[in-house]
Structure 1
């Protein structure tokens, strides 16, 4: 039995459309490469926690984890956090039992994190990264900006540090991961290792 040409073309178009739509959904969770300091400063909450395990969620669209907070980097208020949440979608994070550095946002009074936040196993952070966490809070007045080509030659940076290139005013991404963009004299910001 042969399929008419118009039906074959329709099936082919449907296949390519479904692949394209699936790719868009999958790409919807891709996160821009950002320096950890940027993520820290843009987050409502940054904590080091011990994940105890999954718990029943009072919110049907979110997965809930029971945690014990070890260190609260941001904010410094005393409000206790016992449960954290993530989306059930592919953009949500997955945690195993153990210690993590997590960042997230307050949504309806609870902490929600996702793949674009800091979701790092504590034992995989370098000693430099752990030390830098204590400096990020005071460094949030600085902005970290990616640059390429001629935009990296800008001299009037004021409160910005460049990342993405290796030159006298900007750092390559790997090198920037070991540095903090801190305010210096005269209100300008600069990389410090």
Structure 2
């Protein structure tokens, strides 16, 4: 199948309409590159979901209870977060409010989220949450060796032309434009790394980049 630029725009429009209807009233957020997700999150863990239950967290102005879903988890590894293990994560009970639906049959996930003042980890559809088996070897390795090296870099998502970077410390994320998928080659196999001259560039490699690397490297 041959994709033209116009068909790409049509597909994007259809996707946006589907998200609005599926999310009912209002969960809206832009996808984040996995590196952005790690850098901007308070907590990043690999965990197994072992159970769930609905809990009440208050009442709305009409007196009806406000509920959340509590997912009980077994933390397998913490990549970023507090010293204490996370035993449960919390999310809105509706996808319209950006609530996340996770399998509770022991499925392992990479979960990014925020840590509230009460010490609880909250997650939404706007965070990067993926089954562990769906991650590429590069993504798994980058969780500990690469992504943090580029947290000072900016990743700008390009969905239509023209699109350009605004400065040298920026990487252009073009997966949607070139592959018509949100998470394509750049999301699966590249990290935006800061170089010795303080500029940033996409890096793909089997080892951590050299301190003064100049160009994209391949395994």
TM-score (norm 1): 0.74
The answer to whether residue 160 in structure 2 is matched with residue 160 in structure 1 is no
Give the distance between the partners of 2:75 and 2:22, measured in 1 at CA: 36
Do the aligned partners of residues 28 and 127 (structure 1) sit closer, same or farther apart at CA in structure 2, a change above 3 Å counting?
Answer: same
Give the distance between the partners of 2:84 and 2:153, measured in 1 at CA: 27
- Partner deviation per Cα, 1:1-59 (whole Å, 9 max, x = no partner): xxxxxxxxxxxxxxxxxxxxx84962622431321111222211111001111146363
Give the root-mean-square deviation of aligned CA atoms. 2.6
Give the distance between the partners of 1:165 and 1:56, measured in 2 at CA: 37
Q: How does 1:61-140 map to 2 (within 5 A)?
A: 61-75=67-81, 77-90=82-95, 91-96=98-103, 97=105, 98-109=107-118, 110-134=120-144, 135-140=146-151
**Does the Cα contact within 8 Å between 2:113 and 2:122 map onto a contact in 1?**
yes
Q: How does 1:140-179 map to 2 (within 5 A)?
A: 140-147=151-158, 148-152=160-164, 154=165, 157-164=167-174, 174-177=184-187, 178-179=189-190
In structure 1, list runs of 5 or more residues that go unmatched: 1-21, 167-171
Do the aligned partners of residues 79 and 23 (structure 1) sit closer, same or farther apart at CA in structure 2, a change above 3 Å counting?
Answer: same
Structure number with the higher helix fraction is 1
Q: How does 1:30-41 map to 2 (within 5 A)?
A: 30-41=28-39
**Paired residue secondary structure (1:39):** helix
Give the distance between the partners of 1:66 and 1:24, measured in 2 at CA: 26
**Paired residue secondary structure (1:157):** coil
Give the distance between the partners of 2:115 and 2:153, measured in 1 at CA: 23
**Does the Cα contact within 8 Å between 2:47 and 2:110 map onto a contact in 1?**
yes
Give the distance between the partners of 1:186 and 1:67, measured in 2 at CA: 42
Partner of residue 52, structure 1: 50
TM-score (norm 2): 0.66
**Does the Cα contact within 8 Å between 1:164 and 1:173 map onto a contact in 2?**
no
**Paired residue secondary structure (1:26):** coil
Deviation at 1:140, TM superposition (A): 0.9
With 40-49 and 57-66 compared, the bigger mean Cα shift is at 57-66
Deviation at 1:165, TM superposition (A): 7.0
**Does the Cα contact within 8 Å between 1:86 and 1:92 map onto a contact in 2?**
yes
**Paired residue secondary structure (1:34):** coil
